[in-house]
Amino acid sequence: MAPTTIAAPSSCMLLKTPFSLKRGSKALSLNNGRRLSKRLFSCNAIYNPQVRIKREGQPETLNYRVFFEDASGKKISPWHDVPLHLGNGVFNFIVEIPKESSAKMEVATVELYTPIKQDTKKGKLRYYPYNINWNYGLLPQTWEDPSFANSEVEGAFGDNDPVDVVEIGDSRGKIGEILKVKPLAALAMIDEGELDWKVVAISLDDPRASLVNDVNDVEKHFPGTLTAIRNWFRDYKIPDGKPANKFGLCNKAASKEYALKVIKETSESWAKLVKRSIPAGDLSLV
């Protein structure tokens, strides 16, 4: 299957290799991508790569993978190599699960280049018991540290994954699509004792994006959506005989300011992870 090309937007960002700044040049270039630098770069350079999607295998099979490639055809990691920050409170969001679908797709954090695949349990593909009603995916370059107990959320430890995003816009995304989003709120889901943040956001391309800038705007222009998101994630495991998930922060959606705090903290945790300041365990850092 021929790769799909996605143009990622320009940005100012926090970087790690395989992106590096050439000495004496204002342009970013790719190195061989095989060695992980212990240094993070902060820059004002324009980042405008052609990120290509390459699908291997057939959808809804155990060997199906969605890989990301740079313009030269070299594999890169959607988790580590797509920048988080775009400036002015805008972030990259990678769609894992398009709205109105039920296949439980996710970045394979333990596989080389962390492609998107369908999750499995006991060797079988996993599906939600019903469709998810929003685009769902991750914020790149974030990580919920499983060694960190969050004193604000019942002392729950991170779930060892990137931060999840629920994108509430009208358009249906595609697996691997990179969208520019602005955060609006955050839900502190506690899943079997682990803290699993859900950042509620909207694509800048959505017709109503300019109308919503914080949690109260969501209630005004998308009435009932925050409750529906909370209830969906609270209840989706019940059909499998598991208890309902809980939520911290008084069971309410926190503000945009709080969501930005979550993003900042988990981005700092990711930076420590890729610098190997924190043990990676089985996680792939490539």
pLDDT < 50 regions, the chain = 6-48
Classified as helix, coil or strand, 257 is helix
Q: What are the tens digits of pLDDT across the range 156-167?
A: 999 999 999 999
Q: What is the dihedral of CA 93, 105, 186, 259, to 10 degrees?
A: -30
Give Cα separations from 20 to 28, 70, 142, 253, 267 (angstroms): 6, 14, 19, 38, 19
Q: What is the reported pLDDT for 2?
A: 54
Q: pLDDT tens for residues 132-182?
A: 999 999 999 999 999 999 999 999 999 999 999 999 999 999 999 999 999
Provide the pLDDT for residue 34: 36
Token pair in block for residue 270: 């990711």
Active-site residue, selected from the candidate residues 128, 130, 136, 236: 128
Q: Which residues contact 116 (CB under 8 A, 6 or more apart)?
A: 65, 66, 78, 96, 105, 106, 107, 108, 175, 176
- Give the per-residue pLDDT at 5: 52
Token pair, residue 21, equals: 């700044």
Please report the pLDDT score of residue 50 as a whole number: 77
pLDDT at residue 49 in the model:
56
> For position 31, what pLDDT does the model report?
35
Tell me which H or E stretch contains 225.
Answer: helix 225-235
pLDDT at 281: 96
**pLDDT on residue 253:** 98
The tally of CA atoms less than 13 A away on the side-chain side of residue 84 is 26
pLDDT at 11: 35
Active site residue 113: no
Domains and CATH numbers, the chain: 86-111+118-275 (3.90.80.10)
